[in-house]
Chains A and B, each alone.
Chain A
């Protein structure tokens, strides 16, 4: 099934770039749902919301830009199409929110990923022995940040995906292309090291 999808996309992309409207209609039909999902996921992460009409506007703009700008030509491999489209959709949602804020004369908000902060704070609260005591969780979180940054490259990446994004072994394995055994070992070692450093810090 995965192979069949991979074979269809290269043909679809080629035909779209040649201006084939039927192929373009097939492309938008196939990937509209992905665009909606990407926009909604992006909004969810930054705890913002838009009306159905606004999301439809964003979707239209995305496909118009791709068609007019022949952006499919930038893709080197058809396998990366869905991931690229998801990123473009997320960016388009952010840009729409910024423009909307400007039009309404509101401050241009910084769209932080609140979920990321919450995940790290959850980890800390479950690993700090006496959470009720006078302790600035945010200070500890920035200490953790610093510690993670000094880990070896792959271990750092795996741990960030696990701690900040709450990704499980198979998801991390899918994102980084690492065997799940390796991911599991990196997470175990990384967390043990962080807990040991945390204990030192709390003393």
Chain B
């Protein structure tokens, strides 16, 4: 009992607990911290809470990045082509009219593409009301093969 009380008093520092969770402690320190948290509810609680928070943080970051990437992919493709075509209309002046027409078509494709605009508006609305979860749900819906043109 005395040993147990002594053991429970020697709580590892937060930096050590964090090192344990990230697997960056030396093996003897890992063993020491592991032995301590097995018998100390306070430190085990700290470790578990920390793990859960970091897991949630990484998941949210990943979903935000993937939503942003997806939107940028959809927006940028036709827009970039339209800009390139417009620039080429000045460079290759012999084909000025052709590049200008191509710019117009690509620009109209980007703007009038009802699916893209509808998607962007729906995603924006979903994001405003339900956050990333709702936005991801809308993206998944549009990414199903039946929705592809």
Contacts and interface: CB of A to CB of B under 8 A. Distances in A.
B60 A33 contact: yes
B59 to A, nearest CB: 10
Contacts of B125: none
Categorize the interface residue count of chain B. Answer: 20 to 34
Contacts of B38: 153-154, 156-157, 160
25 contacts: A33-B60, A34-B57, A38-B49, A41-B53, A45-B49, A77-B19, A77-B22, A79-B23, A80-B18, A80-B19, A82-B57, A83-B17, A83-B22, A84-B17, A86-B54, A86-B57, A87-B46, A91-B46, A113-B45, A157-B37, A165-B48, A171-B51, A171-B55, A174-B55, A175-B51
A32 B127 CA distance: 20
Interface residues of A, number: 40
* Secondary structure type dominating chain B contacts: helix
Interface string B42-86: 001111111111111110111000000000000000000000000
Nearest to B51: A175
Nearest to A155: B38
Interface in A31-79: 33-34, 37-38, 41-42, 45, 74-77, 79
A33 B47 CA distance: 19
